[in-house]
Structure 1
Amino acid sequence: YRALSPRAKVVVGLIALVYAAFTLVIIRLGPHGLLEWLAQFSTFFAQSSLGPLILILLLILLSFPPTIGYGTVITLCGLSFGSPLAAPGNSLGYAWFIAASGCLLGSVTAFLVCRIALDTHGADWSWVRKVRQGKEWKAMEKAVERKGWKMILLIRLCPFPFVYSNLFFASLRPEVIPMPFFVLATLATTPKLFLHVFIGAQTFEAIQAGRDGGEAATHTSGWFRLFYVVGASALGAATSWYIYHETKK
């Protein structure tokens, strides 16, 4: 932080204030209030003809670091379009398609913009030079260079923050990560978004059932959610261990 320019310190300070404001809002609303608030948004998106487009545009915007809320918008896709109770014709497949489209378009856009910015101004930013010269960064770069698209895929699957993985991939040399490899690896990992979409759809149905005085999820959906969460956690742990092992070579 001390190595940053005064302008950069102001930007970091503003980002910290935004993060703090979001945290206070979440604490103030509480879990139930936050879900109700998201449910109201989901109803608006579900009833609007521009709902899918707005969500995709939000995902594109939130694919850039250091923004927050990408995962929330993915879940919002499920809240808005994952359940037929929200609007006729809705389904998990449709919600996943919206989320996957936003994920892919956002990744590619962030990748290109960050790569151009780093290629143009990276040499002028001292913090960029320091990060790129770091031991861990160089180890990750060498691991990606050795394994190619396979390592890109694994990094996408591990619990690495999505927006910062876009920045990481963009910072590597084009010969290490060509655009086609990046696109294919990102596309191959979009099925994992189904979990967030499913949770969003189940949350909407639970809220709707609570309003109507009925019951929410069935035992089948509960077991499915548990299986998916356990499987995703195991996959994330395995990929994280493998990536750590590769960076130590």
Structure 2
Amino acid sequence: MTGDHSPRPRPTLAHILKNSTLYLIRRFRKLPISGKLLILSFTLFYCVLVALIFVIKPGRIAQSFYDLGQRIRGHPLGWLLLATLIQIISIPPMIGHTTMLNLCGFTYGMKGFLVAAPASLVASAVVFVVLRYLFGDVLRSWSEKNQTWRALETVIDAKGLPLIILIRISPFPPWVYSNSLFASIQSVSVWEFMAATACCFPKHLLYVFIGARMAPLSDGKQREHMDTQTKVVNIILIVVGIVSAVASGWILYALVKRQLQGISLDANGLSPNVTEEPDEGASLLRNPSSESLSESV
């Protein structure tokens, strides 16, 4: 026989971790100083956050979160405070949109969705309009110099609203950076962006549901009077909600990745075949020239 047709050995977990670590290190080294400082700042922030969780203890944090929700609920304008906070965290480079949706569930139960959904829609629209019309020249000058960004604009322009919706409900890029992403793409109109944002409502409802189920378990008094069966049911519902959010997020990310495959930049920075069925070997998310897209969002 000529040639070995024996199956290739599967990579071990250690091998995958090693390659992933080396890849991240190479990407980090290619970043400009400002990018490196931003990554280090976020890393430091999350390290401090994790340390505080261990020092303060999760039980006390959960109780504080529950007490905060009840104080907001007791105020007649509590809904307006939550809506204002959602607006603030929708402005780049703020983070915490999912946490705010959980807090809506903590505060009002499932009725918190009536605050979370419209507040998120209005907040993202405000950010989009401000970035597009007040900082439009800056965004255009940047995107015109970025070849991959121009190719991405071409793909979105060709595939239209369905791709915009798919990217918007995907977990990548995150909420706040998705606002910036679409504001910088001139082919996306305000109404298309708002329609795509409205398609995120089922995901928002899921996050509110998780917060609503976590609330009674976070309060020490309610836990004391809660029978074991009720506790187990609440925990199971929370786990199912989290698993559903993660699973749907990865499925949507895979769909977005598949839709963006086939962007092969030519010498002018644009792909002539962006509307054709993608080739497995040409992926925007794996192409070396796509690194500027990942870094920018």
1:18-29 alignment, distance < 5 Å: 22-29=49-56
Residue identity (%): 27
1:1-249 alignment, distance < 5 Å: 2=32, 22-82=49-109, 92=110, 94-122=111-139, 128=142, 133-135=146-148, 137-160=149-172, 161-173=174-186, 176-208=187-219, 210-215=222-227, 217=230, 224-249=237-262
What is the TM-score of this pair, normalised by structure 1?
A: 0.78
The answer for unaligned runs of 5 or more in structure 1 is 83-91
Cα distance in 2 for residues equivalent to 1:234 and 1:11: 29
Cα distance in 2 for residues equivalent to 1:144 and 1:219: 45
For the residue of structure 1 that corresponds to 2:135, the secondary structure is: helix
Task: Determine the structure 2 residue equivalent to 1:89.
Answer: none
Q: How far is 1:107 from its partner?
A: 0.6
Cα distance in 1 for residues equivalent to 2:238 and 2:135: 40
Amino acid at match of 1:95: G
Q: How far is 1:248 from its partner?
A: 1.9
Task: Determine the structure 2 residue equivalent to 1:86.
Answer: none
Q: How far is 1:191 from its partner?
A: 1.8
For the residue of structure 2 that corresponds to 1:64, the secondary structure is: coil
CA gap of 1:198–1:170, structure 2 versus 1, over 3 A, is same
With a CA cutoff of 8 Å and minimum separation of 6, indicate the structure with the bigger relative contact order.
1
Cα distance in 1 for residues equivalent to 2:87 and 2:123: 4
Q: How far is 1:123 from its partner?
A: 6.0
Q: How far is 1:25 from its partner?
A: 3.4
Cα distance in 1 for residues equivalent to 2:130 and 2:212: 33
Would the aligned equivalents of 2:86 and 2:120 in 1 still touch at CA under 8 Å? Answer: yes
For the residue of structure 1 that corresponds to 2:57, the secondary structure is: helix
Would the aligned equivalents of 1:59 and 1:102 in 2 still touch at CA under 8 Å? Answer: yes
Would the aligned equivalents of 2:166 and 2:252 in 1 still touch at CA under 8 Å? Answer: yes
Cα RMSD between the aligned structures? 3.0
Q: How far is 1:219 from its partner?
A: 5.9
Q: How far is 1:11 from its partner?
A: 8.6
CA gap of 1:142–1:30, structure 2 versus 1, over 3 A, is farther
Q: How far is 1:236 from its partner?
A: 2.3
Q: How many residues align?
A: 229
Higher helix proportion, which one? 1
Cα distance in 2 for residues equivalent to 1:28 and 1:185: 41
Rg bigger for which structure? Answer: 2
